[in-house]
Amino acid sequence: MNEFDAKMDQIRVSAYNIGLFFGFKVGSSLSPDVAKSALRAIRKSADAQSPGVWDRQTQISYVITLGVAAVRAGFSPALP
């Protein structure tokens, strides 16, 4: 994807895979009630409204917004 610096593609893919791994690991270890409660708290800290239209770009932006809010609020560890 990056014609100027191929290393950036490696970094992007690595970060994506690490995020998937840790997200699945943490998410699958929570009970449904705790997961709902945590998501509610993350949404509140992000002050994000659910968009009316869920196209691909909107989904990506929403998840990134929630992820950043979760890290800032201490819900999830910041990855190196």
- pLDDT greater than 80 at residue 79: no
**pLDDT for position 33:** 92
Question: Tens of pLDDT along 16-57?
Answer: 898 889 888 888 888 899 888 888 888 888 887 777 888 999
Q: How many CA atoms lie within 13 A of 71 on its CB side?
A: 12
Question: Tens of pLDDT along 55-67?
Answer: 999 998 988 898 8
- Looking at the whole model, is its pTM more than 0.75? no
Domain boundaries of the chain, sorted by first residue: 1-30, 31-80
CA atoms 8, 13, 17, 23: torsion sign = positive
Given a contact cutoff of 8 angstroms between Cβ atoms, the answer to whether 76 and 38 are in contact is no
Given a contact cutoff of 8 angstroms between Cβ atoms, the answer to whether 73 and 9 are in contact is no
